Amino acid sequence: MTWLPSGLRGRLVITFLLVAVTASAVVTGLGYQIVRRGLLDRAERGAVADVRETLSRTTLPIGVSDVVWPSDATVTEDDLGQVVHALEAPERTVIVTYGRLLRTSSGFEFTIADVPRRLREQAAGRLVHQRVLLRRRPWLIVATQIQRETGQGVVRPTGLTAYVFVPLSEEDAVLSRLRTALAQAGGITLVLALTLALLSARRVLLPVRRLGAAARALGSGDLRVRLPVRGRDELAELTATFNETAAALEETVGELRTLESMSRRFVADVSHELRTPLTAMTAVTDMLSEDAENLPDDAGEAVRIVVREIGRLRVLVEHLIEISRLDAGAARLHRETVDVGDALADCLEVRGWADKVKLTVPVGLTFSLDIRRFDVIVANLVGNALNHGAPPVVVTARVRVRPDASRGLEVTVRDHGKGIPEHALPHVFERFYKAGADRARSVGSGLGLAIARANAELHDGSVTAERREPGILFRLWIPTP
C-alpha cells in the first residue's frame, strides 16, 4: 500500500525534497563520472606513454640478424629477462613472450592467463590497453608486440609481446575518497533541503492557514473577520478577494437580519393585536353556538363555520406568538422536578382528551422539566395524533438509558391511522408543512410540530417520527440535566 501525505504541507516538503535530491544526485553523479573518467584517462595515457618511451629506448641485443624473427632459435629466456627488466617499475608486473618462451617479473603475481583473450589477440597488431579487476584490485594492462626498424628502414615485428600490468590503486583510493566526500555532501544537502523545505512550506502555508482560520470564523458567524494583505502575489490577491467577499457577506447578512427582525416583530405585533378582537369574537361565537341549533339550517351552518374558523384562527395566533418568542431567543427554561404521570394526565384532562388517549406511566416517575413547555410538546404531539391519526392513541413515558450510556426521559405518542408517507417524514417538523392534500384544510396551524421540536431542543432533547404498521410513533427524548 502506497503512503501519500494528505496535507498540503507534507506534499510541498516531499516535492521540494524530491526535486533537491534528484538535482543533487544528477549533479553529483555527472561530476563523479567526469572526474573518474578524467582521472583514469590520465592514468591510462601516462602508463601507455611510459611503455612506449621505455620500449623506444630499449635495445634488443638478441638474435643474430638485424631483426629478431619468431623462428630465431638464438633467443633465450635471459634475453626476455632483459626486456622485462627494462619495462619493470615499482608495483608493476611484466610478462614478455616469444613464441613458446615466457618470462615474468620477479614476484610472479600474475600469469598470462590473467590477460583477457581478446586483449592478447588485439596486441598482435597494435598497442592496446584495458582496465581489469584482478585480486580485487584495479589494474591497467598495456599489451603490444615489440617492433623494430631493419637496416633498410622497414618496420618489422620482433616476435616479442609485452604485457605490462600497471596498478590503479592510487586512482581508486582517490575515487573512494571522492565518493565519501560526495556522499557526505549529499547528506548535508538533504538536511539543508529539508530545512529549507520546512521553512518554505511554513512561509507559503501561513497565509493559507490564516485564510482557513478566517473562513472558519466567518462560518461560525464572525462576519467582521478580515485579514491583512501583504505583498502582491497570488496569495495576497486571494486574501484581498476574501476580505471583499467577507465585507459583502456582512452587508448582505446584516440586511437579511434586519429584514428578519422586522418580519418577526411584525408577526409578533400582528399576533398580539389580533388577540383582543379574537377574544371578543370568541365570546360572541360562544353565545351564537349555543343558539345555533335554534336557527334555520343555513344560518346554523354559517354559525358553526364561523365558530370553527375562529377557533383555527385563535390557535394560529397563539402558535405564531409562541414561534416568534422562540425565534427571538426570548424563550427560557424554568426547570423543576415534576411527577411525569400527573403532568401528562393534566395535559390530557385540560384539553378533554383523557377518554381518547391511553396513558401508560410508571407510578412515582419524576423528572426535571419546564412543566409549561413540556405541556406544549405533549399537547402538540397528541393533538396531531388525534386530528390526523386513528384510535387508539397511546402515550407512554419511562426513564431510559441509551446504548451510548446517556440517560433521560422518553415519551412516545402512537396512533393507529394510515400514517405519514415515507418521503414526508423528514419534513413533518418544518413550519406549515402538511403531509397530504387531505390536511390542507385541517384544524391544525402547521406550526404545532415545529413548536414541539423547538421546545424539545430547549431541553437539549429531540423529537423524531417513525413509521409503524399501522400509524406513526412520535418519540420525545429529554436527557437528564
Which among 62, 132, 66, 130 is positioned nearest to 99, based on CA atoms?
62
User: Three-class SS of residue 158?
Assistant: strand
Residue 266 has pLDDT above 70, yes or no: no
pTM of structure: 0.47
DSSP state of 62: -
* Residue 437 in this model has a pLDDT that exceeds 80: no
Angle between helices 448-458 and 371-388 (to 10 degrees): 150
Q: What is the pLDDT of residue 435?
A: 63
> pLDDT digit string (tens) for 150-169?
666 666 777 788 888 888 88
Least confident of 58-72, 139-153, 356-370: 58-72
CATH fold for the domain made of 235-327: Helix Hairpins (1.10.287)
Separation of alpha carbons 261 and 274, rounded Å: 20
Q: Give the Cα separation of 430 and 424 in Å (integer).
A: 10
Structure-model confidence comparison of residues 278 and 21, the more confident one: 21
Mean pLDDT of all residues in 60-77? 54
Average pLDDT over residues 224-245: 83
Q: For residue 470, say if its preceding peptide bond is cis, omega within 30 degrees of 0.
A: yes
The pLDDT, as a whole number, for residue 334 is 87
Alpha helices in 220-233 (DSSP H): none
How does residue 436 score in pLDDT terms, banded at 50, 70 and 90? low
Q: Classify burial at 153, counting beta carbons within 10 Å of its beta carbon; exposed 0-12, middle 13-18, buried 19 or more.
A: exposed
Q: Which residue has the higher pLDDT, 395 or 189?
A: 395
Burial of 423 (0-12, 13-18, 19+ CB in 10 A): exposed
pLDDT one-digit tens code per residue, 300-309: 777 777 777 7
More confident residue, 266 or 304: 304
Give CA 304 to chain center in angstroms: 67
Asked if omega into 392 is within 30° of 0 (cis), the reply is yes
| Residue 321 Cα distances to 269, 347, 377, angstroms | 9, 20, 16
Residue 453 C-alpha cell reads as 421540536
* 171 contacts: CB under 8 Å, gap ≥ 6: 39, 40, 43, 138
Residues of the chain with pLDDT > 70: what percent? Answer: 84
- The CATH H-level superfamily of 332-479 is Histidine kinase-like ATPase, C-terminal domain (3.30.565.10)
